[in-house]
Amino acid sequence: MKGILKIGISVLLSFLSLSAFGASDKFSKTQILSDAAYLDSLIRAVHPDPFYGISEMRYEALKSRSLQSLGDSCDLVEAYKTLAPILACLRDSHTSMDISADPWIGYARSGGKLFPLVTRITEKRVWLEYDCSNDRSFPENTEVISINDLPTADLMERILEWYPIERVPDIFYDYIARELYVHLFYLDVLKNDRLRLTLRQGDRIEVYETNLVSFSAIRDHLYGQQRPVFQYTISADTAKVRVGSFMPTDTYFHFLDSVFTDIQRVTPRLLVIDVRGNAGGSSSAVDALISYLYPDSFSIYSCIDLKVSEGVKERYEKRPEYAFVMDQPVGTLIKQPVEWKVSDRPNIYSGPLEVWLDGATNSGAASFSSWISRIGRGRLVGKIGYPPVYFGDFLIFKLPNTGLTFNISTKKFMNYINFSN
């Protein structure tokens, strides 16, 4: 169970090195169709329930439509736009294709200019918050109607064709907004150094023009103001604990031990755990946090389905707890035993608890919140729309011709409650 991949982070990391494939590489129609067939075969072989969020008939129709747009050859960007929708239509955020950073990086390194605006997105509508080019802020109700005379509603539909939106889509708009400058580059919307917007504030519509900017000009606004991954403050009244990731690192486990040791010493009247923006991680990290909050046996899932594949057997062959997988034929769907755990922590917190959520509380963080709500351990503050059934523990693959990388889930997780209700 891992959090979804975010394009912006991979783009930043990719500044350090480029892959063997670049924007100028051309691929034949035969190569793309071969990659599509390989992709389809792995979806069916690896995913535990690929047609849970879409019918197989609808999937086949969307796949055919995407491939019908192929010409005799295409570059890496067009290959991505053709192949990514095959995964995205499954509506599983852990089953997705990584957008290639190489064309974007080459453009940015050569001095190419980018979309300068900080935005938020709700229900496919784009709202303008800040213009990095003119150092100008905008009222909350400033809606972007068009970008370079292209309706934003149409642009959003095109982006959503390749973005792995979960079955409850609102939670992923925060990610798209942060990465909008990348998406617009790949949509080839930014034709010159000037940007023309149609804005609406209430009944008033105006045309606003601004300049495109370098990546360095927008980087701090998009990535420099993120909340710390781990942080806490404690007073006699309230302990506030920021848990921005459930990745099982030594830093994370040491952080939890320090937090709850101090909480035991100070004994605050209320504990607030902030998982806003937490995209998930590992169930072992979620279990670790729960072990400081609950003295009895617990499990964060009601059921887990596992699809047996060659990749799954290779992953778990040296893990004794997965010995039950090794004797199963490839293609078997099995019920993974739900493990019940009991905490032996000396510093368990048993007082009042609040958990803060938002639209980017995802995957393992949603499972944690589900558990809190199910047993009545605390109060959830904020709205989340993550579905009660989701997929994860993905394997990573690479297409043989284009070299594009992608993930496919191997497990189906069932939480105890539906956040959407």
Say yes or no to pLDDT of 15 above 80: no
Say yes or no to pLDDT of 3 above 50: no
Strand partners, 208: 197
pTM: 0.79
The residue ranges of every structural domain in the chain are 7-223
Cβ neighbours for 311, distance < 8 A, ≥ 6 positions apart:
46, 395, 410
Q: pLDDT at position 89, please? A: 92
Whole-angstrom Cα distance, residue 210 to residue 334? 56
Q: pLDDT at position 224, please? A: 60
Whole-angstrom Cα distance, residue 237 to residue 227? 22
What are the tens digits of pLDDT across the range 261-278? 999 999 999 999 999 888
* C-alpha pair distances (Å), 17 with each of 13, 21, 106, 404: 8, 12, 11, 15
Mean pLDDT of the chain, nearest integer: 84
Taking the CA of residue 74 as centre, how many other CA atoms within 13 Å lie in the half-sphere pointing to its CB? 20
Q: pLDDT at position 416, please? A: 62
Banded model confidence at residue 169, pLDDT cuts 50, 70, 90: low
Segments of 117-162 assigned E as strands: 117-122, 125-131, 136-137, 142-147, 150-151
What are the tens digits of pLDDT across the range 337-378? 777 788 889 899 999 999 998 877 888 888 898 889 888 999
Choice between 97 and 224, residue whose per-residue pLDDT is larger: 97
Q: In 234-360, where does DSSP find H-type helix?
A: 250-266, 283-290, 310-316, 323-326
What mean pLDDT do residues 109-122 have? 83
Whole-angstrom Cα distance, residue 88 to residue 406? 11
What are the tens digits of pLDDT across the range 35-89? 999 999 999 999 999 999 899 999 999 999 999 988 899 988 889 999 999 999 9
Would you identify the CATH topology of the domain 7-223?
A: Pdz3 Domain (2.30.42)
Whole-angstrom Cα distance, residue 220 to residue 178? 12
